[in-house]
Structure 1
Amino acid sequence: MKISLVSTGLITIAIAFVHAADVTYSVIAFPGSDKVGVQVAGQDYPLQRSPMHANLFTGIAPFAAEYRYTILNSQGQAQPEETTRHLDNAATTTGNEFFGRSKTVYDIPALPRAYNPIYPALASDMDRDNEIATLILRANMDAIQEFLDTPTAEHNFAQVYNMTYINHHTVYNFENAGLKNAGQSSKDKGKQSYKVKFNKFDKSTKKDHLFGRRAFKLRAGATDPTLIREKLMMDSLSASGVATLNSHWVRLFINDEPFGLYLMTDDSFKGFTDNLIHGGEKMNSTGVTIKGNAMDQDTEANLVYNGPSAANYDHNDVYILEDKGRDPTISKENYMAPLIDFMDRLSKTVIGTDAQTPGTITDLMDSAEHTMIHAAMSFLAGSWDGFWYQASNYYLNQNRETKKWYLITYDFDETFGNGLEDIELMTTPYQNYQRPGSKRPLIDVFIKSPYYEPKFQEILKTLIKRFYNPRVIKPRLEAWTAMLKEDIAWDRSLPFRSPGDKEKFTVNDLNNALVTVGSRMGVLEWISNRTSSVCQQLNFNDTDDLPALPSA
């Protein structure tokens, strides 16, 4: 048998070239003391633990159009999984599968692009939408239990001795990362969200990364019955051509215990915006990144200028230093200075003039179109906890050479009608899309300008015609529902590990992606009503009669 060494990122694996009638079967399983096998044509073939991870089992067996994985007890008796799997005629390997799941890779309809990318993003598997990966951690459980028991307290990172990431075609192993619970209001939930930082417990100069990320978050989606909303919003922003965080779903296991289904997303690290804006290239021009947050309707990151002193701003809770970038002058003590300058210049921005006139928004934002698209998607998705309506959940990143800024929105579990108390927001015109009495100076530049407002309206029309309509999104939601249903049923069967809100959704709530269930609006229902109301208000239809996009 010929053996060839093939590199797959951080590891080197041996691939055996076998006869065409044989297939390499591979499955992730947690069998305890039992063994794992594959059942082909009624015959059981044992699989061996892979050197890449103890919970990955692999081996060679004959080809068959149908097969099942099995747990083999000490007497050699097979307990097969309920599903029957299917193999393509030309297949020589199954890829890495997961025991008890009927399928690994799904055909997910793509979202057509509304605009070509304004900035080059780092292309990687971080942005996958057609499979669920598996993340297996061996970690300090005593430290983890501390933040599970008291999630709202301040905690240090727990050491992750080994972390293995497995998707259909790749296995990555890491050591000495750090794990802790993450978020703000999400810490009040029974299912915690987490952040992971590579090399947190490694003092060497080694810098691990996964898909170009040196940190990532695991979003629990504790308020979303579907676990679909946030991923749909990120993919919509990507299809809109703007910089956005990337994401994909993962199953999380810690010390062989199941923790549930999560959405793995970007988290901040030095220069993390380089991945979103500069194609992953390290840029010395990357400056400070500030996170906008809202505590309540009177304490929000509305970008209203209140004078030159940082003492005039509740910056510890509202304008938060997320990352210093590569600006050596930035510190925790002075980071508000560039943002205050931003707000001062914004307050003096001339509304109603074209982009060539001095003192307009193009002197402040790197791209007016990029900012308008983020605003338009925030409005279309009803992101009531977001940048426009609540002045929250956005990043502002500065280019320290040009002194211009980039807007990137995030945190989308409460979109598409989820958690919405004011149902009228579904049909509210964009001119009234903010809380009564609130101020939105960055939004006003666009929607109150004779020059920019027609452009903003054209963006709304283009997004709706290209992809933001039930005709395009319904097939994507249906495909995701089929892909997620087994893992959501598994996730919903797991116990809550923290105090706090323990709203118990079921797999039946996944139907909420399409229709309203109880008091929670369906994703598709929101999109249908939002698009029809905008079409009526601006007097157009959602037919994609636009010319083809130019070559990027």
Structure 2
Amino acid sequence: MVMEYAAGSQDYFWVRPGNYYLYKNIEKNYWHFHDSDFHFTFGFAVDGAISDSKTLLEAKINDYAKTNLGIPISFRPLLDNLRTNKENEAFFMDAFKQFTEKVFNLNAVEKRIDAMVDLISEDVYSDLHLERISNFSGPELQVFNYNETYFESQVKDVDAQPGQINCFPIKYWIKTRQESLVQQLGITIPNKINTPLGYYEPAVHKVKEEMEGNIENGGNTIFTHQGLIYIIILSFIFFI
């Protein structure tokens, strides 16, 4: 539920409500909640959706279900009944706090987003120029004409366009949602994220940093030994 609110999922349990499964382990007498259909998130929506992304982004935690105007009843028994218990509610709010302070903020994830952009950008630019294969030309056809500028805006911009209500840049969504959570929860985002369990550094970033470091240092070798190993591994991944 914390991630659903933070990411602004509009086709999921809390807002819709739907797209989930309940499973009971008979032997342990324990219920499991399985979510699904998490694709309309982080400011992405389409025409005819149950709620525009701006409405979801502006909604507070306790008003989140009310954003679905197509379903006038905003009570969600599965969640709301659990929240009536003080211990459950305290646990829920603490999960929001921990998640916001350690995970869902740009200090924690911006470099990871940039690493993913580095990984996929070459393929994105190439795909934009692929020859169209489908000959479909019916009235349902929508041509979006995406280009390099649009892609870079979506993955780099931390501000939205004036009057924009859908398809926000991912960094703008995270920044705006984190600011809302900070205000709602009365917390602050640390400048340096505490990572007691460590963190994952994508190999593509390590290779890039080592390449740039060697070039800046004017070394005789282009790659370090470790950097060369990373390149060999990546070559096997992409070309085998």
Unaligned 5+ residue runs, structure 2? 46-50, 67-71, 198-240
Work out which of the residue numbers 144, 156, 162 in structure 2 matches 1:514.
Answer: 156
Q: Residue type of the partner of 1:528?
A: K
Shift of the alpha carbon at 1:470? 0.7
SS of equivalent residue, structure 2 residue 86: coil
Q: Residue type of the partner of 2:81?
A: V
Shift of the alpha carbon at 1:517? 6.6
1:399–1:470 Cα change, 3 Å: same
1:390–1:527 Cα change, 3 Å: same
1:461–1:533 Cα change, 3 Å: same
Which residue number corresponds to residue 60 of structure 2? 429
Q: Residue type of the partner of 2:111?
A: P
Shift of the alpha carbon at 1:427? 3.2
Q: Residue type of the partner of 2:110?
A: K
Higher strand share: 1
The answer to whether residue 30 in structure 2 is matched with residue 399 in structure 1 is no
The answer to whether residue 168 in structure 2 is matched with residue 526 in structure 1 is no
Which residue number corresponds to residue 6 of structure 2? 380
State how far apart, in whole Å, the 2-side matches of 1:394 and 1:490 are.
36
1:483–1:384 Cα change, 3 Å: same
Could you report, residue by residue, the CA deviation over 1:177-216 in whole angstroms, capped at 9, with x for unpaired residues? xxxxxxxxxxxxxxxxxxxxxxxxxxxxxxxxxxxxxxxx
State how far apart, in whole Å, the 1-side matches of 2:55 and 2:82 are.
23
Unaligned 5+ residue runs, structure 1? 1-374
Is residue 160–residue 172 contact of structure 2 (8 Å, CA) maintained in 1?
A: no
Which residue number corresponds to residue 540 of structure 1? 187
SS of equivalent residue, structure 1 residue 451: helix
Could you report, residue by residue, the CA deviation over 1:259-303 in whole angstroms, capped at 9, with x for unpaired residues? xxxxxxxxxxxxxxxxxxxxxxxxxxxxxxxxxxxxxxxxxxxxx
Higher helix share: 2
Could you report, residue by residue, the CA deviation over 1:112-166 in whole angstroms, capped at 9, with x for unpaired residues? xxxxxxxxxxxxxxxxxxxxxxxxxxxxxxxxxxxxxxxxxxxxxxxxxxxxxxx
State how far apart, in whole Å, the 1-side matches of 2:194 and 2:170 are.
25
Which residue number corresponds to residue 290 of structure 1? none
Which residue number corresponds to residue 103 of structure 2? 467
With normalisation by structure 2, the TM-score equals 0.64
Shift of the alpha carbon at 1:465? 1.3
Is residue 393–residue 409 contact of structure 1 (8 Å, CA) maintained in 2?
A: yes
State how far apart, in whole Å, the 2-side matches of 1:437 and 1:539 are.
29
Q: Residue type of the partner of 1:542?
A: I
Could you report, residue by residue, the CA deviation over 1:377-436 in whole angstroms, capped at 9, with x for unpaired residues? 001111111121112333333324334332232333311111161513213221111034
Which residue number corresponds to residue 483 of structure 1? 119
Which residue number corresponds to residue 389 of structure 1? 15
Is residue 383–residue 412 contact of structure 1 (8 Å, CA) maintained in 2?
A: yes
Shift of the alpha carbon at 1:438? 2.6
1:485–1:409 Cα change, 3 Å: same
Q: Residue type of the partner of 1:460?
A: F
Could you report, residue by residue, the CA deviation over 1:462-505 in whole angstroms, capped at 9, with x for unpaired residues? 11111210111111111111211121223333426366443432
Query: For residues 301-450 of structure 1, what are the structure 2 equivalents within 5 Å?
Result: 375-419=1-45, 421=52, 423-435=54-66, 436-450=72-86
State how far apart, in whole Å, the 1-side matches of 2:122 and 2:194 are.
39
1:399–1:429 Cα change, 3 Å: same
| RMSD over equivalenced CA pairs, Å | 2.7
Shift of the alpha carbon at 1:507? 3.2
Which residue number corresponds to residue 246 of structure 1? none
Q: Residue type of the partner of 1:404?
A: Y
State how far apart, in whole Å, the 1-side matches of 2:112 and 2:78 are.
33
SS of equivalent residue, structure 1 residue 439: coil
1:439–1:389 Cα change, 3 Å: same
Greater relative contact order (Cα < 8 A, sep 6+): 2
SS of equivalent residue, structure 1 residue 398: strand
The answer to whether residue 142 in structure 2 is matched with residue 502 in structure 1 is yes
Shift of the alpha carbon at 1:460? 0.6
State how far apart, in whole Å, the 2-side matches of 1:473 and 1:547 are.
12
State how far apart, in whole Å, the 2-side matches of 1:545 and 1:491 are.
36
Q: Residue type of the partner of 1:529?
A: T
1:503–1:399 Cα change, 3 Å: farther
Which residue number corresponds to residue 15 of structure 1? none
Is residue 379–residue 430 contact of structure 1 (8 Å, CA) maintained in 2?
A: yes
1:477–1:448 Cα change, 3 Å: same
Q: Residue type of the partner of 2:142?
A: K
Is residue 43–residue 53 contact of structure 2 (8 Å, CA) maintained in 1?
A: no
1:547–1:445 Cα change, 3 Å: farther
- Residue identity over aligned pairs, in percent, reads 26
State how far apart, in whole Å, the 2-side matches of 1:517 and 1:483 are.
24
Could you report, residue by residue, the CA deviation over 1:331-384 in whole angstroms, capped at 9, with x for unpaired residues? xxxxxxxxxxxxxxxxxxxxxxxxxxxxxxxxxxxxxxxxxxxx1100111111
State how far apart, in whole Å, the 2-side matches of 1:425 and 1:406 are.
27
1:401–1:526 Cα change, 3 Å: same
Max Rg structure: 1
1:483–1:397 Cα change, 3 Å: same
Query: For residues 156-171 of structure 1, what are the structure 2 equivalents within 5 Å?
Result: none
With normalisation by structure 1, the TM-score equals 0.29
Is residue 23–residue 31 contact of structure 2 (8 Å, CA) maintained in 1?
A: yes
Q: Residue type of the partner of 2:8?
A: G
